[in-house]
Amino acid sequence: MTALKNDTFLRALLRQPVDYTPVWMMRQAGRYLPEYRATRAQAGDFLSLCKNPELACEVTLQPLERYPLDAAILFSDILTIPDAMGLGLYFETGEGPRFRKTVRSMADVDALPVVDGETHLTYVCDAVRTIRRALNGRVPLIGFSGSPWTLATYMIEGGGSKDHARSKALAFDQPEVVHGLLAKLADSVTAYLNDQIRAGAQAVQIFDTWGGALSHWAYQEFSLRYMKKIVDGLIRQHDGREVPIILFTKNGGQWLEVMADTGASALGLDWTTHLGEARRRVGDKVALQGNMDPAMLRASPARIRQEVATILEEFGTGTGHVFNLGHGITPEVDPEHAGAFINAVKELSAPYHG
Protein backbone atom coordinates (compact mmCIF):
# COMPACT_ATOMS: atom_id res chain seq x y z
CA MET A 1 0.00 0.00 0.00
CA THR A 2 0.99 3.68 -0.34
CA ALA A 3 3.72 4.82 2.04
CA LEU A 4 2.67 7.08 4.89
CA LYS A 5 3.49 10.75 4.52
CA ASN A 6 2.73 11.45 8.20
CA ASP A 7 3.31 8.61 10.66
CA THR A 8 3.68 10.80 13.78
CA PHE A 9 0.58 9.27 15.39
CA LEU A 10 1.86 5.70 14.98
CA ARG A 11 5.34 6.59 16.22
CA ALA A 12 3.94 8.29 19.33
CA LEU A 13 1.80 5.24 20.12
CA LEU A 14 4.96 3.12 19.94
CA ARG A 15 6.87 5.67 22.08
CA GLN A 16 9.26 6.49 19.26
CA PRO A 17 10.69 10.02 18.80
CA VAL A 18 8.38 12.61 17.21
CA ASP A 19 8.70 16.31 16.37
CA TYR A 20 5.41 17.32 18.00
CA THR A 21 2.51 15.73 19.88
CA PRO A 22 0.08 14.20 17.37
CA VAL A 23 -3.62 14.95 17.77
CA TRP A 24 -6.97 13.54 16.71
CA MET A 25 -10.45 13.65 18.27
CA MET A 26 -12.83 10.88 19.19
CA ARG A 27 -15.99 11.40 17.09
CA GLN A 28 -14.06 13.82 14.89
CA ALA A 29 -16.41 12.89 12.03
CA GLY A 30 -19.74 13.85 13.53
CA ARG A 31 -22.70 16.13 14.05
CA TYR A 32 -20.72 19.24 15.02
CA LEU A 33 -19.70 19.54 11.33
CA PRO A 34 -22.32 20.94 8.92
CA GLU A 35 -20.82 18.91 6.08
CA TYR A 36 -21.37 15.72 8.11
CA ARG A 37 -25.01 16.65 8.70
CA ALA A 38 -25.46 17.18 4.97
CA THR A 39 -23.98 13.78 4.10
CA ARG A 40 -26.05 12.05 6.77
CA ALA A 41 -29.19 13.67 5.31
CA GLN A 42 -28.13 12.38 1.90
CA ALA A 43 -27.77 8.85 3.34
CA GLY A 44 -31.22 9.02 4.95
CA ASP A 45 -30.26 7.95 8.47
CA PHE A 46 -27.26 7.06 10.63
CA LEU A 47 -27.26 3.32 9.98
CA SER A 48 -27.57 3.82 6.23
CA LEU A 49 -24.57 6.14 6.41
CA CYS A 50 -22.54 3.52 8.31
CA LYS A 51 -23.45 0.83 5.78
CA ASN A 52 -22.50 2.85 2.69
CA PRO A 53 -18.69 2.57 2.22
CA GLU A 54 -18.44 5.57 -0.10
CA LEU A 55 -20.39 7.88 2.21
CA ALA A 56 -18.59 6.50 5.27
CA CYS A 57 -15.35 7.38 3.51
CA GLU A 58 -16.64 10.86 2.72
CA VAL A 59 -17.45 11.68 6.35
CA THR A 60 -14.22 10.08 7.59
CA LEU A 61 -12.25 12.51 5.44
CA GLN A 62 -14.32 15.63 6.19
CA PRO A 63 -12.50 16.64 9.41
CA LEU A 64 -9.14 16.16 7.67
CA GLU A 65 -10.16 18.75 5.08
CA ARG A 66 -10.78 21.26 7.89
CA TYR A 67 -8.02 20.49 10.37
CA PRO A 68 -4.36 19.32 10.41
CA LEU A 69 -5.22 16.07 12.19
CA ASP A 70 -2.66 13.28 12.50
CA ALA A 71 -5.06 10.34 12.08
CA ALA A 72 -8.36 9.42 10.50
CA ILE A 73 -10.76 7.09 12.28
CA LEU A 74 -13.09 4.75 10.46
CA PHE A 75 -16.66 6.06 10.49
CA SER A 76 -18.80 3.29 11.94
CA ASP A 77 -20.52 2.39 15.21
CA ILE A 78 -19.58 0.17 18.14
CA LEU A 79 -22.88 -1.72 17.85
CA THR A 80 -22.19 -3.24 14.43
CA ILE A 81 -21.24 -6.58 16.03
CA PRO A 82 -24.48 -7.16 17.99
CA ASP A 83 -26.41 -6.00 14.92
CA ALA A 84 -24.58 -8.61 12.82
CA MET A 85 -25.41 -11.18 15.50
CA GLY A 86 -29.08 -10.67 14.63
CA LEU A 87 -30.34 -8.46 17.46
CA GLY A 88 -31.88 -5.87 15.14
CA LEU A 89 -30.22 -2.51 15.81
CA TYR A 90 -32.32 0.62 15.28
CA PHE A 91 -32.22 4.20 16.52
CA GLU A 92 -35.08 5.95 18.31
CA THR A 93 -35.13 9.72 17.91
CA GLY A 94 -33.98 11.24 21.17
CA GLU A 95 -33.38 7.82 22.79
CA GLY A 96 -30.30 6.51 21.03
CA PRO A 97 -29.64 2.91 19.94
CA ARG A 98 -32.15 0.13 20.63
CA PHE A 99 -32.28 -3.60 19.88
CA ARG A 100 -35.34 -5.59 18.88
CA LYS A 101 -33.96 -8.68 20.67
CA THR A 102 -32.11 -8.96 23.98
CA VAL A 103 -29.70 -11.53 25.47
CA ARG A 104 -30.69 -12.63 28.99
CA SER A 105 -30.25 -16.42 29.16
CA MET A 106 -27.78 -19.09 28.17
CA ALA A 107 -30.16 -20.13 25.40
CA ASP A 108 -29.96 -16.58 24.04
CA VAL A 109 -26.15 -16.72 24.17
CA ASP A 110 -26.03 -20.13 22.47
CA ALA A 111 -28.17 -18.79 19.61
CA LEU A 112 -25.66 -16.04 18.78
CA PRO A 113 -23.10 -16.58 16.01
CA VAL A 114 -19.47 -15.53 16.28
CA VAL A 115 -19.11 -12.82 13.65
CA ASP A 116 -16.19 -11.41 11.68
CA GLY A 117 -15.61 -8.48 9.38
CA GLU A 118 -15.30 -10.01 5.93
CA THR A 119 -18.24 -12.41 6.27
CA HIS A 120 -20.76 -10.59 8.44
CA LEU A 121 -19.67 -6.94 8.35
CA THR A 122 -18.41 -6.65 4.80
CA TYR A 123 -19.52 -3.02 4.54
CA VAL A 124 -17.10 -2.09 7.35
CA CYS A 125 -14.11 -3.74 5.69
CA ASP A 126 -15.13 -2.22 2.35
CA ALA A 127 -15.20 1.19 4.05
CA VAL A 128 -11.70 0.60 5.47
CA ARG A 129 -10.37 -0.24 2.00
CA THR A 130 -12.14 2.74 0.44
CA ILE A 131 -10.81 5.15 3.08
CA ARG A 132 -7.24 3.85 2.79
CA ARG A 133 -7.30 4.42 -0.96
CA ALA A 134 -8.72 7.92 -0.53
CA LEU A 135 -6.19 8.84 2.18
CA ASN A 136 -3.35 7.89 -0.19
CA GLY A 137 -0.88 7.82 2.71
CA ARG A 138 -1.87 11.22 4.07
CA VAL A 139 -2.30 10.03 7.69
CA PRO A 140 -2.88 6.63 9.36
CA LEU A 141 -6.35 5.09 9.61
CA ILE A 142 -7.68 3.90 12.97
CA GLY A 143 -10.06 0.94 13.15
CA PHE A 144 -12.11 0.22 16.26
CA SER A 145 -14.61 -1.88 18.13
CA GLY A 146 -16.57 -1.71 21.35
CA SER A 147 -15.26 -3.84 24.20
CA PRO A 148 -17.07 -7.09 25.04
CA TRP A 149 -18.48 -5.68 28.31
CA THR A 150 -19.71 -2.50 26.65
CA LEU A 151 -21.37 -4.44 23.82
CA ALA A 152 -22.87 -6.87 26.33
CA THR A 153 -24.54 -4.08 28.31
CA TYR A 154 -26.43 -2.91 25.21
CA MET A 155 -27.37 -6.47 24.31
CA ILE A 156 -28.67 -7.27 27.80
CA GLU A 157 -30.41 -3.95 28.43
CA GLY A 158 -31.82 -3.71 24.91
CA GLY A 159 -30.20 -0.30 24.44
CA GLY A 160 -28.43 2.38 26.40
CA SER A 161 -28.73 2.54 30.19
CA LYS A 162 -27.77 4.98 32.93
CA ASP A 163 -27.05 2.37 35.61
CA HIS A 164 -26.70 -0.95 33.69
CA ALA A 165 -28.76 -2.53 36.47
CA ARG A 166 -29.99 -5.49 34.43
CA SER A 167 -26.49 -6.22 33.07
CA LYS A 168 -24.90 -6.10 36.51
CA ALA A 169 -27.63 -8.22 38.08
CA LEU A 170 -27.18 -10.88 35.41
CA ALA A 171 -23.38 -10.78 35.84
CA PHE A 172 -23.65 -11.12 39.63
CA ASP A 173 -26.47 -13.70 39.75
CA GLN A 174 -25.74 -15.75 36.62
CA PRO A 175 -22.08 -15.12 35.81
CA GLU A 176 -21.92 -18.19 33.56
CA VAL A 177 -24.41 -16.52 31.18
CA VAL A 178 -22.47 -13.27 31.02
CA HIS A 179 -19.11 -15.03 30.70
CA GLY A 180 -20.54 -17.07 27.83
CA LEU A 181 -21.68 -13.89 26.12
CA LEU A 182 -18.39 -12.08 26.76
CA ALA A 183 -16.34 -14.99 25.42
CA LYS A 184 -18.37 -15.04 22.21
CA LEU A 185 -18.05 -11.26 21.91
CA ALA A 186 -14.29 -11.40 22.51
CA ASP A 187 -13.89 -13.93 19.70
CA SER A 188 -16.03 -11.73 17.44
CA VAL A 189 -14.17 -8.51 18.27
CA THR A 190 -10.82 -10.22 17.67
CA ALA A 191 -11.89 -11.49 14.26
CA TYR A 192 -13.53 -8.15 13.39
CA LEU A 193 -10.48 -6.06 14.29
CA ASN A 194 -8.11 -8.45 12.52
CA ASP A 195 -10.23 -8.14 9.38
CA GLN A 196 -10.09 -4.33 9.72
CA ILE A 197 -6.28 -4.56 10.01
CA ARG A 198 -6.04 -6.80 6.93
CA ALA A 199 -8.29 -4.35 5.06
CA GLY A 200 -5.97 -1.45 5.92
CA ALA A 201 -6.48 -0.15 9.48
CA GLN A 202 -3.04 0.87 10.79
CA ALA A 203 -3.99 1.11 14.48
CA VAL A 204 -7.03 -0.10 16.41
CA GLN A 205 -8.84 1.17 19.47
CA ILE A 206 -11.09 -0.79 21.83
CA PHE A 207 -13.79 1.45 23.31
CA ASP A 208 -14.70 0.23 26.79
CA THR A 209 -17.31 2.91 27.35
CA TRP A 210 -19.03 1.24 30.28
CA GLY A 211 -16.20 -0.66 32.02
CA GLY A 212 -15.86 2.23 34.45
CA ALA A 213 -19.36 1.52 35.77
CA LEU A 214 -18.09 -1.70 37.36
CA SER A 215 -16.57 -2.25 40.79
CA HIS A 216 -12.86 -2.99 41.17
CA TRP A 217 -13.15 -6.78 41.08
CA ALA A 218 -16.00 -6.82 38.54
CA TYR A 219 -14.04 -4.65 36.08
CA GLN A 220 -11.17 -7.12 36.05
CA GLU A 221 -13.47 -10.15 35.78
CA PHE A 222 -16.01 -8.92 33.25
CA SER A 223 -14.18 -6.26 31.25
CA LEU A 224 -10.37 -6.30 31.41
CA ARG A 225 -10.10 -10.09 31.20
CA TYR A 226 -11.79 -10.11 27.81
CA MET A 227 -9.95 -7.08 26.45
CA LYS A 228 -6.68 -8.85 27.27
CA LYS A 229 -7.94 -11.89 25.39
CA ILE A 230 -8.56 -9.67 22.37
CA VAL A 231 -5.13 -8.01 22.61
CA ASP A 232 -3.52 -11.46 22.74
CA GLY A 233 -5.32 -12.45 19.54
CA LEU A 234 -4.74 -9.36 17.41
CA ILE A 235 -2.40 -9.03 14.43
CA ARG A 236 0.56 -6.96 15.62
CA GLN A 237 2.53 -6.68 12.37
CA HIS A 238 0.96 -5.88 9.02
CA ASP A 239 1.99 -4.19 5.79
CA GLY A 240 5.56 -3.87 7.07
CA ARG A 241 4.64 -1.98 10.27
CA GLU A 242 3.68 -2.65 13.86
CA VAL A 243 -0.06 -2.19 14.50
CA PRO A 244 -0.58 -0.29 17.78
CA ILE A 245 -3.53 -1.19 20.01
CA ILE A 246 -5.23 1.43 22.19
CA LEU A 247 -7.43 0.49 25.16
CA PHE A 248 -9.83 3.16 26.36
CA THR A 249 -11.92 2.58 29.49
CA LYS A 250 -13.99 5.63 30.33
CA ASN A 251 -13.72 6.33 34.09
CA GLY A 252 -10.96 3.72 34.23
CA GLY A 253 -8.14 5.78 35.70
CA GLN A 254 -7.93 3.60 38.82
CA TRP A 255 -6.95 0.56 36.71
CA LEU A 256 -4.10 1.95 34.61
CA GLU A 257 -1.47 -0.44 35.96
CA VAL A 258 -3.45 -3.59 35.17
CA MET A 259 -4.54 -2.15 31.83
CA ALA A 260 -0.89 -1.52 30.98
CA ASP A 261 -0.18 -5.20 31.69
CA THR A 262 -2.52 -6.38 28.91
CA GLY A 263 0.07 -5.92 26.18
CA ALA A 264 -1.71 -2.94 24.61
CA SER A 265 0.45 -0.22 23.06
CA ALA A 266 -1.42 2.72 24.58
CA LEU A 267 -4.13 3.61 27.08
CA GLY A 268 -6.78 6.24 26.46
CA LEU A 269 -7.54 8.51 29.42
CA ASP A 270 -10.66 10.49 30.18
CA TRP A 271 -10.44 13.94 31.74
CA THR A 272 -10.78 12.72 35.34
CA THR A 273 -7.20 11.38 35.41
CA HIS A 274 -4.15 13.63 35.76
CA LEU A 275 -1.95 12.94 32.74
CA GLY A 276 1.36 13.40 34.58
CA GLU A 277 0.28 11.08 37.39
CA ALA A 278 -0.83 8.50 34.82
CA ARG A 279 2.57 8.69 33.14
CA ARG A 280 4.33 8.12 36.46
CA ARG A 281 2.13 5.12 37.19
CA VAL A 282 2.58 3.30 33.88
CA GLY A 283 6.20 4.28 33.24
CA ASP A 284 7.45 3.22 29.85
CA LYS A 285 5.06 0.28 29.42
CA VAL A 286 2.52 2.12 27.26
CA ALA A 287 1.84 5.41 25.53
CA LEU A 288 -1.01 7.58 26.76
CA GLN A 289 -3.81 9.18 24.76
CA GLY A 290 -5.96 12.08 25.94
CA ASN A 291 -7.30 13.81 27.80
CA MET A 292 -8.97 17.22 27.57
CA ASP A 293 -12.55 17.51 28.78
CA PRO A 294 -14.74 17.75 25.65
CA ALA A 295 -16.76 20.47 27.40
CA MET A 296 -13.65 22.69 27.23
CA LEU A 297 -14.40 23.10 23.53
CA ARG A 298 -17.38 25.22 24.53
CA ALA A 299 -15.03 27.73 26.17
CA SER A 300 -13.26 30.55 24.33
CA PRO A 301 -10.37 29.76 21.97
CA ALA A 302 -8.02 31.52 24.41
CA ARG A 303 -9.19 29.28 27.28
CA ILE A 304 -8.91 26.19 25.07
CA ARG A 305 -5.32 27.13 24.25
CA GLN A 306 -4.55 27.57 27.94
CA GLU A 307 -5.94 24.10 28.72
CA VAL A 308 -3.89 22.53 25.94
CA ALA A 309 -0.77 24.16 27.41
CA THR A 310 -1.64 22.78 30.87
CA ILE A 311 -2.10 19.22 29.61
CA LEU A 312 1.12 19.32 27.60
CA GLU A 313 2.94 20.48 30.71
CA GLU A 314 1.32 17.71 32.77
CA PHE A 315 2.74 15.05 30.43
CA GLY A 316 6.11 16.76 30.13
CA THR A 317 8.93 16.18 27.68
CA GLY A 318 9.44 13.15 25.50
CA THR A 319 7.35 10.90 23.34
CA GLY A 320 4.45 8.58 24.13
CA HIS A 321 1.58 11.09 24.18
CA VAL A 322 -1.22 11.35 21.63
CA PHE A 323 -3.35 14.41 22.34
CA ASN A 324 -7.09 13.78 22.28
CA LEU A 325 -10.23 14.63 24.14
CA GLY A 326 -11.19 12.59 27.18
CA HIS A 327 -14.26 11.39 25.28
CA GLY A 328 -15.99 12.22 22.01
CA ILE A 329 -16.54 15.75 20.73
CA THR A 330 -20.16 16.77 21.32
CA PRO A 331 -22.62 17.94 18.63
CA GLU A 332 -23.02 21.54 19.84
CA VAL A 333 -19.31 22.41 19.59
CA ASP A 334 -18.42 25.28 17.23
CA PRO A 335 -16.09 23.86 14.53
CA GLU A 336 -13.90 26.96 14.95
CA HIS A 337 -13.27 25.95 18.58
CA ALA A 338 -12.26 22.46 17.49
CA GLY A 339 -9.83 24.11 15.10
CA ALA A 340 -8.44 26.28 17.90
CA PHE A 341 -7.84 23.12 19.95
CA ILE A 342 -5.98 21.28 17.19
CA ASN A 343 -3.93 24.31 16.20
CA ALA A 344 -2.93 24.89 19.83
CA VAL A 345 -1.58 21.34 20.09
CA LYS A 346 0.40 21.81 16.89
CA GLU A 347 1.82 25.17 17.97
CA LEU A 348 2.56 24.44 21.63
CA SER A 349 3.81 20.84 21.63
CA ALA A 350 7.05 21.09 19.61
CA PRO A 351 9.20 22.35 22.54
CA TYR A 352 8.38 19.15 24.45
CA HIS A 353 10.12 17.12 21.71
CA GLY A 354 13.42 18.95 21.37
67 belongs to an annotated ligand binding site: no
Q: Is the pTM of this model over 0.95?
A: yes
Q: What is the pLDDT of residues 172-183, one digit of tens each?
A: 999 999 999 999
Q: What is the pLDDT of residues 243-267, one digit of tens each?
A: 999 999 999 999 999 999 999 999 9
30 belongs to an annotated ligand binding site: yes
32 belongs to an annotated ligand binding site: no
What residue ranges do the domains of the chain occupy?
A: 36-285
Q: Which residues are catalytic?
A: 27, 31, 40, 77, 154
Domain 36-285 = CATH 1.10.240.10: no
Give the chain as a 3 state SS string: CCCCCCCHHHHHHCCCCCCCCCECCCCCCCCCCHHHHHHHHHHCCHHHHHCCHHHHHHHHHHHHHHCCCCCEECCCCCCHHHHHHHHCEEEECCCEEEECCCCCCHHHHHCCCCCCHHHHCHHHHHHHHHHHHHHCCCCCEEEEEECHHHHHHHHHHCECCCCCHHHHHHHHHCHHHHHHHHHHHHHHHHHHHHHHHHHCCCEEEEEECCHHHCCHHHHHHHHHHHHHHHHHHCCCEECCEECCEEEEECCCHHHHHHHHCCCCCEEECCCCCCHHHHHHHHCCCCEEEEEECHHHHHCCHHHHHHHHHHHHHHHCCCCCEEEEECCCCCCCCCHHHHHHHHHHHHHHHHHHHC
Reading the chain (354 residues) residue by residue, the pLDDT tens digits are 678 999 999 999 999 999 999 999 999 999 999 999 999 999 999 999 999 999 999 999 999 999 999 999 999 999 999 999 999 999 877 778 999 999 999 999 999 999 999 999 999 999 999 999 999 999 999 999 999 999 999 999 999 999 999 999 999 999 999 999 999 999 999 999 999 999 999 999 999 999 999 999 999 999 999 999 999 999 999 999 999 999 999 999 999 999 999 999 999 999 999 999 999 999 999 999 999 999 999 999 999 999 999 999 999 999 999 999 999 999 999 999 999 999 999 999 999 998
120 belongs to an annotated ligand binding site: no
